[in-house]
Structure 1
Amino acid sequence: MITFPNAKINLGLSVLNKRDDGFHNIESVFYPVQICDALEIKTIDESTCKLVLSGDAIQGNLESNLVFKAWKILHQKYDIPGVHCELLKKIPMGAGMGGGSADGSFMLKLLNSHFKLNLANAELEQLAGQLGSDCPFFIENKPAFVSGRGEHMERIDLDLSGYHLHVIHPNVHVGTAEAYGLLSPERRQQDLRVLPRTPIEEWQSTFHNDFEEVIATQFPAIAEAQKSLLNQGAIYAAMTGSGSAVFGIFKEKVALEEKEGWRYFEGRI
């Protein structure tokens, strides 16, 4: 069986405070976009997950990969058989697009279907929460206002299907811990709950990513990429997550001027 884990973008991001458990409380709007990896599994006789990786290089060892961890969770809880798994990476790593989280959550859904476990989405979301803070989002994979560590979700009515998406990854890697270390959380500066009711033409002056200013100071290429998207007609351009990818939403399909060394992605919204 095969599936295609997709990325997400953050439409605004507020970092509210640091929690006692070391994580941060955030608020954001997560929106799924059709920039995808490919994930395929086959049952094997051995009681393990044999993971073959291709495409973009993935850091870390096998047991730290969320695809492997997803199999391990279901193997321990439901005694599912071993699988041979192939993962083709297209979503850039360390980009704030949730690629690793999507892979783990889609693996849970794929195993659920393949082995006919008949797990409801609510249970899959609970299991996905063991993989990472934003993993539960990818179970239903629909636009949501998120809070807490990113695990609390409220579905929202937001449809951007008539727009075009361009993403620039400006060849820099921003680690999540590094990004949070640069930030000094402040009181809420924006109300992202109203974003779905706000005309998209007003988003650029109304909503922002709290990480943008501090990250762009350390990595000027991120600010340059955002400016490039706006200069070429984006209605809204922002860094996603804790970086380093920057996306632009356009009314019409455009051919971007490309800069050497940067990576460019185009996907359906």
Structure 2
Amino acid sequence: MLVFPNAKINIGLNIVEKRQDGFHNIESCFYPVGWSDALEILPAKEYGFQSDGIDIPGDASNNLCAKAYQMLAADYTFTPVNIHLLKAVPIGAGLGGGSSDAAFTIKALNDLFSLKISLEKQLEYARRLGSDCAFFIENKPLYCFEKGDRFEEISLTLAGKWIVLVNPGLHISTFEAYSGVKPRHSEVDLRALLKQPLSEWKQTVKNDFEESLFPKFSVLKKIKEKLYEKGAVYAAMSGSGSTLYGIFEEETDLSLIFKEYKIWQGYLK
């Protein structure tokens, strides 16, 4: 079975409060984008995991795909598999690439072996693996809250809009990103802001990480400014960085403008 775990962007990101467990409660809209890895899972005589493409740090046994497999194998009976991951989505880039790989592993195993795992159970498994893994189970625009693993439906569609994602290759640790923010409740509900026309988001829909990270990493601010300069209706950083994205009304090829960075561009669904 071959599947293509896709990335996501954050449209708006409010850091609401620090939790007693050390995590933070957030408010955001997660929106799927087409930048994808390739994940092949085939029945085998014994379990195996390999990856190609972007180098994944750490031991293979700690990969989220491997953890997803071991988690389901502990609860269900099915033959071993060989998992081959072709990694294309940048790691630690605010795009949820690793989380998507894990969620797609759960869904692929469920389909491959007809395990008949309910949606709620799949979400439960995904939440064990990481805060935003569960989003990729349904993989549709959702309003996210608490740790980013609780969801509500949101009537938002950007279908037909053109998006350009730019990743300058900076690694910003989660600790560093959160150390610069001051959690606070928003004065206006993000869901209300996202009902406004896209052209108004520039003034109202914010990512709280930008305030502290832009002064430290000037390249991030410059990329956002360049996206607006080239005609983006809305531009922002995704997650805690370091990927920036711009949403355009029409197809806009910026591959030469950002040729020194990793870039993905295409239509939103």
Normalising by structure 2, we get a TM-score of: 0.96
Paired position in structure 2 for 1:268: 267
Q: CA RMSD in A?
A: 1.2
Q: Distance in 2 between the 1:118 and 1:84 partners?
A: 21
Q: Which amino acid aligns with 2:99?
A: S
CA contact (8 A) 1:70 1:107 kept: yes
Could you tell me whether the CA contact under 8 Å between 2:194 and 2:205 is conserved in 1?
Answer: no
Deviation at 1:260, TM superposition (A): 4.9
Unaligned runs of 5+ in 1: none
What displacement does 1:9 show? 0.4
Residue 94, structure 1, aligned to residue 103, structure 2: no
Correspondence list, 1:210-229, <5 A: 210-229=208-227
- Other-structure match for 1:43: 43
Which of residues 163, 166, 186 is equivalent to 2:164?
Answer: 166
| Greater mean deviation of Cα atoms: 37-46 or 176-185 | 176-185
Query: Take 1:42 and 1:154, find their aligned partners in 2: how far apart are those partners?
Result: 34
| Deviation of 1:21 (Å) | 0.6
Cα pair 2:253 2:265 within 8 Å, conserved:
no
C-alpha contact (below 8 Å) 1:44/1:84 kept by paired residues: yes
Q: 1:126 to 1:262 in 2, by over 3 A?
A: same
Note the C-alpha offset of 1:79. 3.1
Q: What SS does the corresponding residue of 1:129 show, helix, strand or coil?
A: helix
CA distance in 1, matches of 2:151, 2:258: 37
Q: How far off is 1:155 after superposition?
A: 1.4
Kept in 1, the 8 Å contact 2:194–2:201? The answer is no
1:105-254 to 2 correspondence within 5 Å?
Answer: 105-254=103-252
Amino acid paired to 1:110: A
Identity of aligned residues (%): 43
- Tell me which residue corresponds to 2:102: 104
Q: Secondary structure at the match of 2:235?
A: strand
- The answer for the alignment partner of 1:23 in structure 2 is 23
Shift of 1:195: 3.4
Distance in 2, Cα, partners of 1:19 & 1:268:
37
- Determine helix, strand or coil for the equivalent of 2:129: coil
| Deviation for aligned residue 1:61 | 1.2
Instruction: Give the number of aligned pairs.
Output: 267
Q: Which amino acid aligns with 2:211?
A: E
Q: Point out the more displaced range, 87-96 or 75-84.
A: 75-84
- Matched residues in 1 for 2:103 and 2:267: separation? 21
- For 1:57-72, list aligned pairs within 5 A: 57-72=55-70
Query: What does residue 5 of structure 2 align with?
Result: 5
4+ aligned runs moved over 3 Å, structure 1: none
The separation in 2 between residues aligned to 1:3 and 1:228, in whole angstroms, is: 34
Verify the 8 A CA contact 1:142 1:155 in the aligned structure 2. Answer: no
Q: CA deviation at 1:177?
A: 2.2
Q: Deviations over 1:96-124 (max 9, x none)?
A: 00000000000000000011101121110
Q: In structure 2, the residue corresponding to 1:266 is in which secondary structure? A: strand
What is the rounded CA distance, in whole Å, between the counterparts of 1:196 and 1:206 in structure 2? 9
Distance 1:140 1:194 in 2: 23
Q: Distance in 2 between matches of 1:185 and 1:23?
A: 12
